[in-house]
Amino acid sequence: MDKDTVIRLEDVHKHYRMGEAIVKALRGSSLKVKKGEFIAVQGPSGSGKSTLMNMIGCLDTPTKGDVFLERWNIANLEESDLAQLRGRKIGFIFQTFNLINNLNALENVALPMVFQNMDYEDRMKTAKKLLVDVGLGDRLQHKPSEMSGGQRQRVAIARALANNPDVVLADEPTGNLDTKTGKKVLEKLKELNEESGKTIVMVTHDPHAAEYAERIVEIKDGVTQ
C-alpha cells in the first residue's frame, strides 16, 4: 500500500441478517484515504454511509472485501490488537454525540486515554487543554445534560482528539445541530485538517456540509461512485 494511504477499502460488501431477510447495506464499495485529506462521503439516507463509516473506522468487519488501516489488513488482527490500534489512530464523532451521561466534560474527554494507559494526571491535563481548545474551558464540570447540542458536539470533538489520532471520522456531525452551530463544527473540522494536519472523513447527507471537504465521494445504494 502507498506510504501516504491511511485507510483503504477494497470492494467491501456488508450484509445484515434481519430474521429471514438479508439487508445488503454495502454492495462493493472502495475508497482510498490519503494522509492529510478532508473527504466527505455524501449520499441519501439509507445509502450505507454509517455502515461505510463503521468499516473505515474498523468498528465492524466486512462480509466480503478488504479493509486496510495503514499497512495492516484488519482481518488479520486479533480483536484486542485492533482495538488498541484503532484507539490510537482514529477519533470518532457521531451525530448523536455519544457522550456518557453521568460523566462530566473532562471525564468524557479523558476516557479514551484510560484505554491507552495514560496516567490520571496526564489524562486530566490533556483533557482540559482539549476542552479549552474547543472553547469549553468554562464547562469542564458540566455533564452532557447541562450543555447545549453545540457544546456537546464540541466535547465530542475534544474526545475524538484525546489520543492525538491521525484520522478523525465524523458521521453526520451536524445532523442534530441548527445551521449556525453546525457551521461552527464544520469550521472546526476544517481547521483540524488545515492547521493540525488531521485526516478527516465525514459522512453526510447534506451537500452544504460536504462542501467543506476537499474531495466528495458519492455513495448510492451501498456503492461508492
Ligand X SMILES: Nc1ncnc2c1ncn2[C@@H]1O[C@H](COP(=O)(O)OP(=O)(O)O)[C@@H](O)[C@H]1O
Least separation in angstroms between residue 61's CB and Mg ion is 18
User: Nearer to ligand X by C-beta: 25 or 169?
Assistant: 25
User: Nearer to ligand X by C-beta: 21 or 121?
Assistant: 21
Adjacency order of strands within the sheet including 199-204: 90-94, 167-171, 199-204, 38-42, 215-220, 223-224
Q: Which stretch binds Mg ion (CB under 5 A): 29-37, 43-51, 59-67, 147-155?
A: 43-51
177's contact among Mg ion, ligand X, none, with CB below 5 to 8 A by partner kind, is none
Task: Determine the Cα–Cα distance for residues 169 and 87; give it in Å rounded to an integer.
Answer: 12
Q: Which three cell numbers stand for residue 187?
A: 469550521
User: Nearer to Mg ion by C-beta: 49 or 89?
Assistant: 49
Task: Determine the Cα–Cα distance for residues 86 and 105; give it in Å rounded to an integer.
Answer: 22
Please name the amino acid found at residue 176: N
User: Nearer to ligand X by C-beta: 90 or 219?
Assistant: 219
Size of the site for ligand X (CB under 6 A): 12
156's contact among ligand X, Mg ion, none, with CB below 5 to 8 A by partner kind, is none
Answer yes or no: are the C-beta atoms of 181 and 149 closer than 8 Å.
yes
Task: Determine the Cα–Cα distance for residues 80 and 186; give it in Å rounded to an integer.
Answer: 32
Residues 6+ apart with CB under 8 A from 74: 58, 61, 67, 68, 82
Task: Determine the Cα–Cα distance for residues 177 and 162; give it in Å rounded to an integer.
Answer: 23
Q: Which stretch binds Mg ion (CB under 5 A): 42-50, 76-84, 143-151, 210-218?
A: 42-50
User: Nearer to ligand X by C-beta: 127 or 201?
Assistant: 201
Least separation in angstroms between residue 122's CB and ligand X is 36
Assess 16 for contact with ligand X (CB under 6 A): yes
The helix (run of H) or strand (run of E) holding residue 209 is helix 207-210
Task: Determine the Cα–Cα distance for residues 75 and 78; give it in Å rounded to an integer.
Answer: 8
Q: Which stretch binds Mg ion (CB under 5 A): 28-36, 48-56, 77-85, 131-139?
A: 48-56
Least separation in angstroms between residue 216's CB and ligand X is 15
* CA angle centred on 21, ends 175 and 224, rounded to 5°: 45
Please name the amino acid found at residue 114: V
Binding positions for ligand X, 36-65, rule CB under 6 A? 43, 45-51
Least separation in angstroms between residue 213's CB and ligand X is 16
In the complex, the residues that contact Mg ion under the rule CB under 5 A are: 49-50
In the complex, the residues that contact ligand X under the rule CB under 6 A are: 16, 18, 23, 25, 43, 45-51
